[in-house]
């Protein structure tokens, strides 16, 4: 395995400024991740806070033992009781087969930063991954993308939930899951890893009650000895620790929502993308009722009601729920970071471009809750290059950096156009130019004769050139038939490194890569020292 860094300028304006012009948006964050004193400053701030370390450790231990976790994880959970310990944290929904590749890339980022900072700071730094088990958008996690007949296709599980419940409460449909698993594995080429991996995944599927369980068990198979700690944020025992933090969020609700709304307006006025949707009356909390997850808003009387009036609660009633039944509440994207900060001594949060975009609006919410936003670091980003794709890149003399950024479609057309002597496209352009030159006297005379003859001459020229273009297209089709094998190679390069016009990590799943290179693939990636100063990494397998 070889890992090379490459430059990749972000497409999002705010994320680009965060990485390269931080001073322009420094007022949206509490710490600059590029300040050499950031870690010392953060540790000083953490000293002023208290955490339920003992209780949290016990909850994490019980939760993780259910997933049959390795010894290293349990040791790190125990180390969380140490008043000197801090955590590096990131999170994601519980995607099927871990979801898109960027989920495991986030985990590698957490492991890398935690390991680096533990050496530098001389104290326990624990890698934590927050599974957003409270999320209820099943359509976001009910599928993976698989390569089929030259394109990426969505392979969706047949389970259709009856209610809009949280993923951690959603019982796995074992029959549908088995059929789906068999279907996606059938799409893979047989390798020495296929049968073992299929049996392992199937075993963990059958041991899982929910999609969150299934996700957690697979993550621990990919990272068995790294000391990673997973937390299901929707576990009822976690919720019982969160009562005082929900209480703060309810009391400070108006100030939090108003502050976030104001920063979003500022972002819009300064030309930044606003990926977070937030209004002044949003409560940024969900209420769970009979399996449904209801988003709350504040009305003019200060009551909390469902967005569609599914429920109406006074402030006092909501505070009572937080005290007596906190499992009936959960966070949205605005309050989830506050809950992470309240539960854990967070040294740093790691997020993707979209997360950093909406974190830019959250500082007022942290301030209103008397919390300090942690340093926010962009996650590591990777493109995996299999051996077949690497050979094709070298055969066609293509730059992997160019293909990752721009794809191979244009390179393919240039290549096929050059596969004749002289090249078809160049010959076609020359013929069009010659026709225009020969046709010029006719157009000039038509203009002299007046009437609509000038326009007719122009149409005549356009018709002649369209005829040449048609012939060019047919000739290229003929060449495509001749060079079908080579064109398929271009298509494979494109779908592997630049699927659907974007990064591989946003579309591909772990399945084809583990099938090809084994369960230890992502552990091997993590064994490399990876700097957060680089935009993107290319991993040659």
Q: What is the pLDDT of residue 104?
A: 98
Q: Which residue has the tokens 């390569």?
A: 147
CA angle 539, 39, 362 (to 5 degrees): 85
Tokens of 154: 């969505």
Tokens of 430: 């020359």
Tokens of 7: 């430059």
Helices (H), 140-293: 174-186, 194-207, 211-222, 236-241, 243-251, 253-269
Q: What is the pLDDT of residue 414?
A: 86
Alpha-carbon span 157 to 150, nearest angstrom = 22
pTM comes to 0.89
Alpha-carbon span 538 to 451, nearest angstrom = 63
Q: What is the pLDDT of residue 6?
A: 96
Give me the half-sphere count of Cα atoms (radius 13 Å) on the Cβ side of residue 151.
3
Q: Can you give the pLDDT of all 541 residues of the chain as single tens digits?
A: 999 999 999 999 999 999 999 999 999 999 999 999 999 999 999 999 999 999 999 999 999 999 999 999 999 999 999 999 999 999 999 999 999 999 999 999 999 999 999 999 999 999 999 999 888 889 999 999 999 888 899 999 999 887 777 888 888 999 999 999 999 999 999 999 999 999 999 999 999 999 999 999 999 999 999 999 999 999 999 999 999 999 999 999 999 999 999 999 999 999 999 999 899 999 999 999 888 899 999 999 999 999 889 999 999 999 999 999 999 999 999 999 999 999 999 999 999 999 999 999 999 999 999 999 999 999 999 999 999 999 999 999 999 999 999 999 999 888 877 776 557 777 788 888 888 888 988 888 888 888 788 889 899 999 999 998 898 888 777 776 777 788 889 999 999 999 999 999 999 999 999 999 999 999 999 999 999 999 999 999 9
The answer to whether the beta carbons of residues 132 and 93 sit under 8 Å apart is: yes
Residue 539, by phi and psi: left (phi above 0), alpha (psi -120 to 50) or beta? beta
The answer for residues whose C-beta is within 8 angstroms of residue 526's C-beta and 6 or more apart is: 108, 111, 112, 223, 226
Q: What is the pLDDT of residue 434?
A: 84
Q: What is the pLDDT of residue 169?
A: 87
Q: What is the pLDDT of residue 431?
A: 82
């Amino acid at each position: 395995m070889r890992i090379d860094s490459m430059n990749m300028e972000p497409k999002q304006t705010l994320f680009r400024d965060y990485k390269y012009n931080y001073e322009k948006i420094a007022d949206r964050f509490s710490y600059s991740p590029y300040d050499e004193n950031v870690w010392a400053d953060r540790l000083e701030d953490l000293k002023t806070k208290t955490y339920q370390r003992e209780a949290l450790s016990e909850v994490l231990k019980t939760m993780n033992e259910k997933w049959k976790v390795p010894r290293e994880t349990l040791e790190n959970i125990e180390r969380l009781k140490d008043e000197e310990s801090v955590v590096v944290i990131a999170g994601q929904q519980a995607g099927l087969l871990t979801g898109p590749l960027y989920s495991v890339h986030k985990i590698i980022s957490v492991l890398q930063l935690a390991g680096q900072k533990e050496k530098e700071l001389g104290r326990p730094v624990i890698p934590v991954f927050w599974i957003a088990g409270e999320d209820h958008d099943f359509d976001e996690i009910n599928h993976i993308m698989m390569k089929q007949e030259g394109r990426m296709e969505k392979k969706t599980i047949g389970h259709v939930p009856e209610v809009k419940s949280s993923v951690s409460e959603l019982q796995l449909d074992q029959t549908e899951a088995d059929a789906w698993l068999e279907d996606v594995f059938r799409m893979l080429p047989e390798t020495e890893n296929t049968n073992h991996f299929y049996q392992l995944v199937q075993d963990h599927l059958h041991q899982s009650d929910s999609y969150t369980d299934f996700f957690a068990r697979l993550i621990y198979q990919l990272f068995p000895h790294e000391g990673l700690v997973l937390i299901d944020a929707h576990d009822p025992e976690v919720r019982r620790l969160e009562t005082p933090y929900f209480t703060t969020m309810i009391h400070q609700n108006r100030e939090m929502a108003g502050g976030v709304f104001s920063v979003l307006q500022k972002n819009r006025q300064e030309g930044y993308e606003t990926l977070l949707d937030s209004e002044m009356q949003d409560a940024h909390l969900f209420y769970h009722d009979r399996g449904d997850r209801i988003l709350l808003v504040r009305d003019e009387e200060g009551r909390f009601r469902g967005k569609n009036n599914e429920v109406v609660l006074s402030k006092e009633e909501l505070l009572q729920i937080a005290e007596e039944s906190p499992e009936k509440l959960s966070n949205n994207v605005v309050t989830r970071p506050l809950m992470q900060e309240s539960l854990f001594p967070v040294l740093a949060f790691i997020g993707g471009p979209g997360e950093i975009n909406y974190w830019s609006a959250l500082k007022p919410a942290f301030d209103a809750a008397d919390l300090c936003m942690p340093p926010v670091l962009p996650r590591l980003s990777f493109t995996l290059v299999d051996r077949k794709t690497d050979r094709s890149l070298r055969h066609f003399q293509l730059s992997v950096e160019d293909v990752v950024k721009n794809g191979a479609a244009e390179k393919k057309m240039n290549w096929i156009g050059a596969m004749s002597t002289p090249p078809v496209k160049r010959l076609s352009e020359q013929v069009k130019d010659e026709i225009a030159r020969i046709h010029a006297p006719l157009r000039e005379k038509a203009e002299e004769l007046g009437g609509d003859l000038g326009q007719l001459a122009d149409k005549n020229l356009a018709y002649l050139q369209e005829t040449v273009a048609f012939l060019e297209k047919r000739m290229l089709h003929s060449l495509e038939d001749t060079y079908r094998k080579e064109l398929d190679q271009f298509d494979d390069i494109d779908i592997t490194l630049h699927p659907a016009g974007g990064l591989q990590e946003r579309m591909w799943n772990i399945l084809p890569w583990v099938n090809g290179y084994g369960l230890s693939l992502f552990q091997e990636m993590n064994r490399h020292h990876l700097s957060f100063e680089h935009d993107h990494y290319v991993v040659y397998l």
